[in-house]
């Protein structure tokens, strides 16, 4: 049969098979709220009806600005169900960036956490957003309260609108190295196939018996597809809202008997520290797997969780891939290998998930899968973007239909991908991007500055942090503090370089570009 792969199919499955399975959310007061997929689906359908009643039509963009909780799951299911496109705005971005993104996407409505209203108000006036729906609190004048909207909408009016599986269900923006963020649209088919693919046993193995804790925010690339995979399989979902500290997460893991958690390394490092500091204090015996991705999972982190009987699954992905691309599992050939050998295999980013294909290209064409030849990773597949919204960034796609990732890799003979370097000029701090070029341009806009280069330097907690190297104009003087003050109003706080150092010159390539590898080497050598 020509059975459309749509969010409708996931919703129907959750309603008919998993209605009694729990969805647990951390509430604003710190307590825990419980609901079920049955109730979530009913409310998602009310949301669909309500969006129609305020004039949202198929193809319209509906933004969310919120943390991980049941209402956000309702939007994940309810917005695409009316044919509209769910646009998850990243609450950590600077208001200028958010204004640009909401404009570019053409967001008509936004579902906003009450606790985030001040941040939302900082950019809302510069967007086309007509309707603001407030979750978890009272709606100020001119806005709608989510609960009132749902209460007033008649679920009997819900009809499953006919959806083309190739139509857009959601969208997300990716940080640009230069220029502005680029939009990626996910089709219904992409989300359905991605949910199926991450549920396979060689992938993340999301299953009905699991209790899944997506620590990765729902404003980050579909929360790695976990909400859809959980609703499809019937896994219990545990949603931590904004409480992402180790103590709060451990409490949820223990009391909700979480079996599978997922997030960036920065989130799991303090959890490991807490477990190490008081062995036996937290009963994490239910937890068998943590999926770590978004940045390389350090080998020590994988080894550390092993000590507590928790397997780390290392995953690599991108916004342009919905996002899971590869998952690192011990291949069958190494099943009997010594621990150290298996550990080395698990520290790699792993093999492509089903319906994703990978290859790497060097200066002389595609490189062999020999585990040694470097090349830029190119991918294609059922959950890989074919283009950016509005035709931006066309240079990222090859003429023969592959997407250029900007990651420099080696590929082992068995297809295992190892990320070796990054071709894109970005810094990843705590799982969020910082554009070195944007900081450089701002620094070079200062009258005292002749040249500025910003590079990523390793950081124990955040993975990477920005370091700025500045060359002053002849005779000019300015202090590092003065330069920081200059940057402060223009960037999110966590973008500001930890250190600004002054140098006589910045090493350059033959074509006059900053040689960032040389700067990173200099920093490494102190």
Q: Judged by CB under 6 A, which stretch of 252-260, 278-286, 314-322, 464-472 contacts ligand ADP?
A: 314-322
- Specify the DSSP class assigned to residue 320: G
Residue 518, interface with ligand ADP (CB under 6 A)?
A: no
Binding mask 380-409 for ligand ADP (x = CB under 6 A): -------------------------xxx--
List the one residue from 99, 419, 471, 472 that touches ligand ADP (CB under 6 A).
419
The DSSP code sequence of 86-126 is: EEE--TTS-HHHHHHHHHHHTEEEEEEEGGGHHHHHHHHTT
Phi-psi region of 381 (alpha: psi -120 to 50; beta: other; left: phi over 0): left
Per-residue binding string, ligand ADP, 146-175, x by CB under 6 A, is ----------------------------x-
For residues 169 and 147, is the Cβ–Cβ distance under 8 A?
no
The nearest distance, CB 317 to ligand ADP, in angstroms, is 5
- All residues at 6 or more sequence positions from 482 whose CB lies less than 8 Å from its CB, including other chains: none
- Rounded CA separation 87/77 (Å): 12
Interacting span for ligand ADP (CB under 6 A) from 99-107, 232-240, 316-324, 437-445: 316-324
Q: Helices marked H in 200-338 — which ranges?
A: 226-233, 246-255, 265-277, 299-307
> Under the criterion CB under 6 A, does residue 97 sit at the interface with ligand ADP?
no
In the residue annotation, 511 being an active-site residue is answered as no
Subset of 454-473 contacting ligand ADP (CB under 6 A): none
> From the list 163, 238, 318, 487, which residue makes contact with ligand ADP (rule: CB under 6 A)?
318
Radius of gyration of the chain (CA): 23
Say how many CA atoms lie within 13 Å of 511 toward its Cβ.
1
Minimum distance from CB of 423 to ligand ADP (Å)?
9
Nearer to ligand ADP, 260 or 449 (CB): 260
CA dihedral (364, 369, 370, 376) in degrees, to 10, reads: 50
User: In this chain, which of 296, 452, 453, 483 binds ligand ADP, going by CB under 6 A?
Assistant: 296
Nearest 5°: the CA angle 400, 403, 408 is: 120
- Tell me how far, at minimum, the Cβ of 164 lies from ligand ADP, in Å: 26
Those residues whose C-beta lies under 8 Å from the C-beta of residue 349, and which sit 6 or more positions away, are 296, 314, 315, 316, 326, 328, 409, 416, 417, 418, 419
In the bound state with ligand ADP, the residue whose beta carbon lies nearer, of 419 and 506, is: 419
**Most distant pair of Cα atoms in the chain: their distance:** 76
Nearer to ligand ADP, 145 or 269 (CB): 269
Q: Which residues contact 213 (CB under 8 A, 6 or more apart)?
A: 238, 239, 240, 249, 252, 253, 256, 258, 260, 261, 262
Of positions 84, 295, 327, 500, contacts ligand ADP by CB under 6 A: 295
Choose which of 263, 317, 393, 463 interacts with ligand ADP (CB under 6 A).
317
Segment lying near ligand ADP (by CB under 6 A), choices 266-274, 308-316, 453-461, 514-522: 308-316
The structure tokens listed for 313 are 């699954």
**Number of Cβ atoms within 10 Å of the Cβ of 391:** 8
Query: Would you say 14 or 198 has its CB closer to ligand ADP?
Result: 198
Among positions 52, 136, 294, 497, the unique one binding ligand ADP when judged by CB under 6 A: 294
Per CB under 6 A, the list member of 18, 92, 188, 220 interacting with ligand ADP is: 220
Contact 37, 23 (CB under 8 A): yes
Query: Rounded to 10 degrees, what is the CA torsion of 359, 363, 369, 373?
Result: -130
Closest approach of ligand ADP to the CB of residue 199, in Å? 18
Within 320-359, the residues that bind ligand ADP by CB under 6 A are 323, 349
Q: Alpha-carbon distance 436 to 249, whole Å?
A: 32
Query: Taking CB under 6 A as the rule, does residue 263 contact ligand ADP?
Result: no
Pull the structure tokens for residue 394.
Answer: 């066309």
Under the binding rule (CB under 6 A), the answer on residue 316 touching ligand ADP is yes
Nearer to ligand ADP, 253 or 315 (CB): 315
Catalytic residue among 224, 402, 433, 495: 433
What token pair was written down for 144? 């709608």
User: Cα separation of 414 and 417, whole Å?
Assistant: 9
**Which residues contact residue 526 at a Cβ distance below 8 angstroms, ignoring those fewer than 6 apart?**
none
| Total of chain residues touching ligand ADP, rule CB under 6 A | 21
> Is residue 293 near ligand ADP by the rule CB under 6 A?
yes
Output 83 or 304, the one with its CB closest to ligand ADP.
304
Window contacting ligand ADP (CB under 6 A); options: 76-84, 291-299, 304-312, 501-509: 291-299
174 is catalytic: yes
Q: State both tokens at 459.
A: 């950081």
* Separation of CA 325 from chain center: 13
Is 320 labeled as catalytic in the residue annotation?
A: yes
By CB under 6 A, residue 314 contacts ligand ADP: yes
CB of 104 closer than 8 Å to CB of 180:
yes
Q: Give the residue, chosen from 94, 126, 243, 422, that forms a contact with ligand ADP under the rule CB under 6 A.
A: 422
Q: Which of 48, 64, 127, 174 is catalytic?
A: 174
223 binds ligand ADP (CB under 6 A): no
Are 508 and 515 contacting, i.e. CB atoms less than 8 angstroms apart?
yes
Residues that bind ligand ADP (CB under 6 A): 174, 220-221, 293-296, 314-319, 323, 349, 405-407, 419, 422, 433
Q: Annotated active-site positions, please?
A: 174, 320, 428, 433
């Amino acid at each position: 049969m020509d059975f459309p792969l749509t969010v409708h199919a996931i919703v129907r499955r959750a309603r008919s098979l998993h209605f009694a399975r729990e969805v647990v959310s951390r509430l604003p007061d710190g307590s825990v709220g419980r609901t079920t997929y049955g109730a979530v689906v009913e409310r998602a359908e009310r949301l669909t009806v309500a969006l129609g009643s305020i004039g949202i039509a198929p193809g319209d963009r509906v933004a969310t600005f919120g943390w991980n909780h049941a209402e956000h799951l309702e939007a994940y299911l309810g917005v695409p169900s009316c044919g509209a496109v769910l646009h998850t705005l990243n609450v950590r971005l600077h208001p200028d960036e958010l204004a640009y993104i909401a404009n570019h996407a053409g967001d008509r409505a936004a579902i906003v956490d009450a606790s985030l209203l001040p941040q939302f108000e900082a950019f809302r006036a510069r967007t086309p957003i007509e309707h603001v729906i407030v979750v978890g609190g009272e709606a100020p004048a001119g806005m709608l309260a989510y609960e009132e909207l749902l209460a007033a909408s008649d679920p009997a009016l819900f009809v499953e609108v006919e959806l083309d599986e190739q139509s857009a269900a959601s969208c997300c923006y990716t940080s640009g190295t230069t220029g502005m963020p680029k939009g990626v649209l996910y089709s219904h088919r992409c989300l359905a196939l991605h949910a199926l693919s991450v549920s396979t046993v060689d992938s993340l193995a999301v299953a009905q018996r699991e209790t899944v804790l997506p620590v990765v925010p729902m404003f980050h690339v579909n929360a790695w597809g976990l909400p859809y995979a959980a609703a499809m399989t019937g896994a219990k979902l545990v949603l931590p809202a904004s409480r992402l500290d180790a103590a709060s997460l451990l409490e949820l893991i223990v009391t909700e008997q979480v079996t599978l958690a997922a997030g960036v390394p920065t989130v799991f490092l303090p959890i490991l520290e807490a477990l190490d500091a008081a062995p036996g204090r937290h009963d994490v015996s239910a937890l068998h797997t943590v999926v770590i991705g978004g940045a390389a999972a350090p080998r020590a982190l994988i080894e550390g969780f092993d000590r507590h009987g928790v397997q780390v699954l290392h995953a690599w992905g991108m916004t342009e891939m919905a996002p899971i691309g590869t998952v690192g599992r011990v291949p069958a050939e190494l099943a009997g290998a010594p621990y150290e050998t298996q550990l080395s295999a698990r520290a790699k980013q792993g093999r492509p998930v089903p319906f994703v294909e990978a290859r790497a290209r060097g200066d002389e064409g595609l490189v062999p899968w020999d585990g040694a030849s470097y090349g830029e990773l190119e991918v294609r597949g059922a959950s890989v973007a074919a283009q950016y919204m509005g035709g931006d960034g066309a240079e990222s796609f090859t003429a023969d239909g592959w997407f250029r990732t900007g990651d420099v890799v080696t590929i082992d003979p068995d297809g295992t991908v190892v990320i070796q370097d990054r071709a894109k000029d970005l810094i990843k701090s705590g799982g969020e991007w910082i554009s070195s070029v944007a900081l450089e341009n701002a620094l070079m806009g200062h009258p005292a500055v002749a040249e500025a280069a910003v590079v990523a330097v390793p950081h124990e907690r955040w993975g990477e942090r920005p370091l700025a190297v500045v060359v002053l104009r002849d005779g000019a003087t300015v202090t590092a503090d003065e330069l920081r003050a200059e940057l402060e109003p223009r960037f999110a706080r966590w973008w500001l370089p930890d250190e600004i150092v002054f140098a006589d010159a910045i090493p350059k390539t033959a074509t006059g570009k900053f040689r960032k590898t040389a700067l990173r080497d200099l920093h490494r050598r102190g």
